[in-house]
Chains A and B, each alone.
Chain A
Amino acid sequence: MSNIVEACNVRVRFRIHGTLQALLKGSKDPFIDAVRDVSFSIREGETFTLVGESGSGKSTLAMALAGLHKTAEGSILFNGEDITKMDDEAMQSYRKKISFMWQNPVGSLSPRLNVGSLITEPFHIHNLKQKDLKAESDRLLQLVGLPKHFSERYPHQLSGGQARRVGVARALALHPKLIIADEPTAGLDVSVQGEILNLLNRLQDELGVSMFVITHNLNIVRHISDRTAIMYLGRFVEQGDTDNIFAKAKHPYTLALLSANPEADPDAKINRIELKGEVPSLMMRPTGCEFHTRCPFVSSGCSDQFPPVLNEGKHWLTCHYPR
């Protein structure tokens, strides 16, 4: 299988001070790095999942991948073409090949458009008006398991799960090669979460589309993902095959996330790895290993030396003392 996306040392920065403010405050670097030195690849027809807490840079990376944020360094190859160097015209045709599912299922649908117009909007944007839009909307609704008459409904008439299905239908409209899904199950009930994950899995099997999924819910990762990366403060700390990550995670942060899952068993003995404190500010990144301020296994060297990269091919991590 060939790679559809290859990202290499991607860095996304945001300016936090103006020039004058930076001068007055004496800060040499008026930028923060939201995403730093991130490398990964997505194979055709596979699901790549990105896990991390709020503020870890997951959504920023996804938007960089969609060309919505400029990258400061690094390259993102899509089918061999570098999207960071594309001009507007090339970008337009690139965006036809990818699609984005936004986090809030109802909020990402315009309240003034009915479902039929919403899911055929991509055809207007990309000047494909010659298509029979009614037929297209019927096809898409059928694909995501909604009845045809839903095309007359407005977003406020939909439940959370139905709105999410409409989001999936819209994402599929132009036969994309890659779908970027930001928290596809956030805010949904457990029984509906299962439905949406089944739908995504089924569509992937039928259409062979690749997916880049962002989530902070590790429970769902196991069931949809082929490969997983764990992100902390804008960097990957561990990545590898999902089965491998769940079976033998080695980075303390991954272990903490895995053990933070409350189990639906009142007597479960959970060997919980508790993290101290809060996520540090991006403006003051910790020295050495950036996780050392919260790591329960912190030891000598962690606070001043950057951790080495351990790469076993299928399993990649950066830690001084992997478990």
Chain B
Amino acid sequence: MSDHVLSIKDLSVHYETNAGVLQALRHINLDVPKGSIVGVVGESGCGKSTLISSIIRLLAENATVPNGSIEFEDEDLLKLGQEEMRAIRGSAMSIVFQDPMSTLNPVLSIGRQMVDVQYRDNKTYAEKLQRSKEMLESVGIPDPAGRLKQFPHEFSGGMQQRISIAMALQANPSLLIADEPTTALDATLEVQIVHLLKELQKNMGCSILFISHHLGVIAELCDFVVVMYAGEVVEEGSVRDVFYHPAHPYTRKLLQCDPAVIVEKSRHLPTIPGEIPNLIEVPRGCVFRDRCDSALAQCATQVPEWDECQTGHFVSCHGVDS
């Protein structure tokens, strides 16, 4: 067995639209090592959600996967049938979504929902309920037995997100995908959830693929970081390598323009000028060229290669010597 829970190689995803073929993901490489937390950063429209949908095989109908493989526990997910995929979803691989209120069913009690997701287990109702109680306890919800009878609207946003995490982890998955789980929460609750995820990961030993656009949260939680831009992975490495020695100009700019990093009061904040390119007509060469300060002549014609600039630190940029 390999050391990676999830290993994506050369994955592309295209959408057929009326205006033409939209190349949402192009030649993505991504590894999630066993027992680690991998963060994916990128701005809206960079393909984060398409990436998740393709991992859990819930892509829209107009999507095609022209090339690539997604190996999960040494099995190529793209080759599995619907039935086999269903067996994996929610048991070996589960997901926590951004908005907890729309994750939970408003007309069923929490207990009922938590028992329902254990439909595969050959246990009695009472045992399943007991398991749900333990899960609620492990995510720090006081009085779990009493809370199981309550409905989603009786919980605050932070509590709801804890419940979604408990439900996702109920089947002891080997991979948990968290899609911006803290974006809808306040700063103090965000910190609580980040700590909770870290602690649960330590206790349960699962791997986490954590999607966020909040650089601070990624720095605090993750072991490895993947930076995405306009449907491509531009940089990948350990969290220290990427945050202390960012190699790709986009990563550097992203780190510079985070208002949280700028401690001095400033009336004029740095930004990244320009816009994300149109993915129906992907420009030749490097996708970041138009917004890059240090573009070279070859950036306009050649697509930069995916190179290891240091051990375990990958980048695709012409300006970096391998």
Contact = CB atoms under 8 A, between A and B. Distances in A.
Interface of A: 53-54, 159-160, 189-195, 197-198, 201, 205, 216-220, 222-223, 242-243, 256-257, 260-268, 272, 274-275, 278-279
Nearest to A259: B191
Given A219-B260, A223-B262, A262-B220, A278 B213 contact: no
Interface in B217-270: 217-220, 239-240, 243-244, 253-255, 257-263, 265-270
A222 B269 contact: no
Contacts of B45: 159
A201 B268 CA distance: 8
Interface string B187-227: 11111101000000000000000000111111110000000
A205 B261 CA distance: 24
Q: Which of the listed residues A205, A266, A267 has the most CB atoms from chain B within 10 Å of its own CB? A: A266
25 contacts: A159-B275, A190-B259, A191-B43, A191-B254, A191-B257, A191-B272, A192-B271, A194-B270, A197-B259, A198-B269, A201-B268, A219-B258, A222-B263, A257-B187, A257-B188, A261-B187, A262-B190, A262-B216, A263-B219, A264-B219, A264-B258, A266-B220, A266-B244, A274-B191, A274-B192
Given A218-B187, A223-B259, A266 B243 contact: yes
B295 interface: no
A190 B216 contact: no
Contacts of A193: 259, 269
A264 B272 contact: no
A190 B215 contact: yes
A162 B180 CA distance: 22
B159 interface: yes
Given A265-B243, A267-B240, A160 B269 contact: no
B304 interface: no
B239 A266 contact: yes
B156 interface: yes
Contacts of A242: 265
A260 B257 contact: no
Shortest 3 CB-CB contacts between residues of A and residues of B: A262-B216, A194-B269, A219-B260
Q: Which of the listed residues B43, B45, B213, B271 has the most CB atoms from chain A within 10 Å of its own CB? A: B271
A189 B194 CA distance: 20
B186 interface: yes
Q: Which of the listed residues B187, B266, B268 has the most CB atoms from chain A within 10 Å of its own CB? A: B187
B158 interface: yes
B44 interface: yes
A198 B268 contact: yes
Contact of B240 (A53, A218, A266): A266
A260 B259 contact: no
Given A262-B194, A263-B260, A264-B255, A190 B213 contact: yes
Given A53-B186, A223-B267, A267-B240, A261 B253 contact: no
Contact of A53 (B188, B265, B275): B188
B191 A268 contact: no
B272 to A, nearest CB: 4
Contact of B243 (A160, A218, A264, A275): A264
B157 interface: yes
Nearest to A221: B259
B186 A216 contact: yes
Contacts of B187: 53, 216-218, 257, 260-261
A60 B240 CA distance: 42
Contacts of A205: 267
